[in-house]
Chain A
Amino acid sequence: MNRGYGPPAGDWWDRPDAFWLSCPATPANVGFARAVVAAFAARLPFTLDEIEEIKLAVSEVVSNVVLHAYDVPGGPLRLGARVVDGLLEVVVEDDGRGIEDVAQAMQPGYSRLGEEHLGIGLTVAETYMSQLDIDSSPGVGTRVRMRKRPAAAAGT
């Protein structure tokens, strides 16, 4: 998405509950990313099970960046979360190769890598979050935006 290291343009910082950070897309930062988002998510009334689901979704999406975005590992990874109308919103961005066919990438069992890659990461993330959108431009980068509403807050 080539926007340097800042958050998405627009109203990101309009909310008091928000963070944005950047780090290299490396395997070690997968655990870091899910720990940061889990810690942030604790300010909403999520159950422990829901926090685990958020950790899984973040792990899957960030692993995808590490595995697929760059030919050489360690390219830019940007991660942010904020509270929007009682929902948790998580954004994961990279400046990598992009996804030619998002619908295909979302198919369970599809992976551009072969053996030892299940191709279910996005399906898992989609299962555990209320909403998942992918915005990708080949050669420019990918942005994944996920939202989750605490079950305790449903109907309020």
Chain B
Amino acid sequence: MAVKVELSRAGPVLVARIEGEMDLAAAAQIREPIEQAWAGDGELRHLVLNLKGVTFLDSTGIAVILGRYRTVMARGGRVVVAAAPSRVRRMLELSGALRLLELADGEEEALRKLKPPPARAAARRRRRRGGAGR
């Protein structure tokens, strides 16, 4: 059964929407377009994997996800898994992958997570002004 990968970009975030069964047969079909897009754009920093359409995930599928985690880590970025159906989430838990990945209910929440929090940005501005406002 074929897997479908749709890529888009939101600022420094690469968003991959995956549909179908994430198994050994699908591994290369998922890995290659993501790696290609990532390598071709040095501005990309984070990855969102939207798994809403994923109907099956086994350990070879998780290996593909963790392989991309390594790619993203090399640029100091983060990986957020969005909209994972409950069975997919359970498998991610069982494998221990959630120690490395972040979860979000949907793609919007994932993108929000990856934006620097305004509070911290404000704190940075305060620090730049000379440490006032503690």
Contact = CB atoms under 8 A, between A and B. Distances in A.
Contact of B23 (A49, A63, A115, A116): A63
**Size band of the interface chain A makes with B:** 20 to 34
The listed residue with most B CB atoms (<10 A of its CB), out of A28, A52, A59, is: A59
A56 interface: yes
Interface stretch (A2-10, A118-126, A141-149): A118-126
B31 to A, nearest CB: 8
Interface in A32-91: 34, 49, 52, 55-56, 59-60, 63, 66-67
Interface stretch (B87-95, B107-115, B122-130): B87-95
A127 interface: yes
B24 A67 contact: yes
Chain A interface, DSSP helix/strand/loop, else mixed: helix
Contacts of B95: 118, 120, 124
A15 interface: no
Chain B interface, DSSP helix/strand/loop, else mixed: helix
Given A56-B91, A63-B23, A63-B24, A124 B66 contact: no
Contacts, number: 57
B64 A116 contact: yes
B58 interface: yes
Given A116-B63, A117-B63, A31 B25 contact: yes
Given A52-B87, A115-B67, A27 B24 contact: yes
Nearest to A55: B56
Interface of A: 27-28, 30-31, 34, 49, 52, 55-56, 59-60, 63, 66-67, 115-118, 120-121, 124, 127
28 contacts: A27-B23, A27-B25, A28-B25, A30-B25, A31-B1, A31-B21, A31-B23, A31-B25, A34-B56, A49-B87, A52-B87, A55-B56, A59-B23, A59-B24, A59-B60, A63-B60, A67-B60, A115-B67, A116-B64, A117-B63, A118-B59, A118-B63, A118-B66, A118-B95, A120-B59, A121-B59, A121-B60, A124-B59
